[in-house]
Chains A and B, each alone.
Chain A
Amino acid sequence: MTRTEERGVRRRTLAQRDARSGLLLITPTLVIVVAVVLVPLVWSVLIAFQRVRLIGIGRTGLFDNLTLANFVRVFGSDTLWDSLVTTITYTAGSTLLAVVLGVSVALALRRPFFGRGFVRAAMLIPYVAPVVAVTFVWKVLLNPEFGIVNSWGRRLFGWDDPVAFLSQARGEISLFGLDIPVPTALLTVIVFEGWRYFPFVFLFVLARLQAMPAELEEAATIDGATPSQRFRHIVLPQLMPIIAVLVVLRTIWTFNEFDDIFLLTGGAAGTEVVSIRVYELLTVQRNVGAAAAQSVFLAAVLAVLLGLYLWLLRRRGGTT
């Protein structure tokens, strides 16, 4: 037997051993993920086709009472489409705001200055602080009776009446003598969402900015490109891939967002997104089947939207 053959045999057995330990090491994770995420997911779809109420839950078997009634109920609701429009508006508005704010701050913090480390950490606090605490502070800040925003608004901008930011569905802004109707509460939760999640965008965009080679921009400066031209033609194209990923992530998470709206408005005043409806079906009406159907609907819409986005992205990528 030659030396090389010997080594070949050894390497194969090492590879086999590695494959075995790989499977062994990943097994605990797989078990947990399958048990706590995948099985419930499949079960959720099953429940969506069953007539199940919380009271009779102990007696219902896996395949009992199969029915389409839950979906009939979900699609028959007058407010389903309003709620879907609210969800989409909320998602698009919040994602856009978070990305614009996050990129702006990342650009502002790109070059070193005294105290940058502190500013950087401060920018991330809204994202790491407990959602329950920050929504509570916002609720107090915006409170019509003793919130500081309203008392300063009246003093500095001469507002006649306090604005009920979180409980008013429709308000009017007077601009140049025109009264423009605005969905006050929905806008407020969008602004909150932008405030809470711009740090996430900021973090990733800043990391990308700092890894960019300086040569390209230096060359462009020598060629006479102004700062805005350098941003438009050199920095932005390099940021686009990470921005695209962040848009997808933020869209997915905002679309399913429950905590923030539930804690700020409870879904009142024109902010009833689909996830709030799921929660209400589950806990208030105690109709488990309808809640599951509603949540499957939510996931399906999200999947369609994402598929569309990826398809558009691929088509654009294919032509250029």
Chain B
Amino acid sequence: MSTRRPWTRDRVERVVFGVLRRVVIAGFLLATLVPFYYMIMLSVRPIEDLLLRPDSLLPDLGALTFATYEEVLRPVTDGGQGFLTLLGNSAVVASVSVVVALAVAIPGAYAVSRLRFFGRRQISALFLMVYLFPAIVIAIPLFVLLTKLQLRGSLVGLVLVYIAQTVPVAIYMLKNYFETIPESIEEAGLVDGLNRMAVIRRISLPLALPSVVATGIFVFMIAWNEFLFALLFLVERRDRWTVSLGLAQLSGTVEIPTTVLMAGSVVITLPIVVLFFLTERLLSEGLTAGADKG
């Protein structure tokens, strides 16, 4: 009997925290995954089935339907909700934002991390401020300006806003990465007669490629998910809506069955989640680089 270990505080705590850890992991897995499972499940159920059995977590496998997806994607002229057009709009807006934001942010981040120039610190502070400033304060004058220029309903205005909003984050992510590249490699290039631009293009950029990819994906996600500016700029032009705006506008109407809108939700969420799972590690590292120094 006496060989049994006594229940010291240490042992009790180890057991309690060991159990607690599993409970926390299981609980959070449920909390994060169930809503998305519910989304997918509702999207393949007929609406009558949902109204009859609201409490079921399993769809009736015999009655699975993909008519919801067909309806949500079909053009408005054919009696659908026209999400295919909206997906196209979102893809264009997000892709252009990524390309321009990267083209602007790569040189900017390089300059901030490597080159000593006048006003460098002030500029970094300015970017931080932009990143933190309330979008709604900037939204008002931009709304006024676009109304004045009669550019409301054009995707160009939206892309400009997305670029301005994502460039500071992009610079932050890229800068952290540029700083991890040993300066001696670049100096070797300079000594061998390359100028600064050639060093960036032929040495730094290829080395920073993982970070460039991560940053591009992050910008894409922000642009794809954005709602407020899309609402302010595009709401009157249904053919110009982004998918996020489209889903929000249509979910306010009663005529469209919930299951069809769920199919719409799956359609807008899926590209983002797939993209995210493919690059999760890259993205997390890009965002938290520098934070682990405390």
Contacts and interface: CB of A to CB of B under 8 A. Distances in A.
Nearest to B164: A36
B269 A226 contact: no
Contact of A33 (B9, B127, B284, B288): B127
Interface residues of B, number: 100
Most buried by B among A23, A37, A119, A138: A37
Interface residues of A, number: 101
A226 B135 contact: no
A54 B147 contact: yes
A249 B167 CA distance: 18
Interface in A134-156: 134, 136-141, 145-148, 150-152, 155
Given A32-B104, A36-B163, A19 B115 contact: yes
Contacts of A152: 55
* A interface, over-half SS: helix
Interface stretch (A75-83, A178-186, A251-259): A251-259
Given A21-B197, A148-B57, A296-B137, A131 B227 contact: yes
Contacts of A40: 138, 140-142, 145
A21 B111 contact: yes
28 contacts: A19-B117, A21-B111, A21-B115, A22-B116, A28-B104, A29-B105, A33-B130, A33-B164, A36-B161, A40-B140, A41-B138, A52-B144, A105-B24, A105-B25, A123-B32, A124-B276, A124-B284, A129-B273, A148-B38, A150-B54, A204-B291, A207-B284, A208-B291, A210-B292, A226-B14, A227-B13, A242-B291, A263-B248
Interface of A: 14-15, 17-26, 28-30, 32-33, 35-41, 43-44, 47, 52, 54, 57-58, 101, 104-105, 107-109, 117, 119-126, 128-134, 136-141, 145-148, 150-152, 155, 195, 203-204, 207-208, 210-211, 224, 226-228, 238, 241-242, 249, 252, 255-256, 258-259, 263, 275, 278-279, 282-283, 288, 291-292, 295-296, 298-299, 302
Interface of B: 9-10, 13-14, 17, 20-21, 24-25, 28-29, 31-33, 35-36, 38-39, 42, 50-51, 54-55, 57, 103-105, 107-108, 110-112, 114-118, 120, 123, 126-127, 130, 132-145, 147-148, 160-161, 163-164, 167-168, 171, 190, 196-197, 221, 224-225, 227-228, 232, 243-245, 247-248, 251, 258, 261-262, 265-266, 268-269, 272-273, 276-277, 280-281, 284, 287-288, 291-294
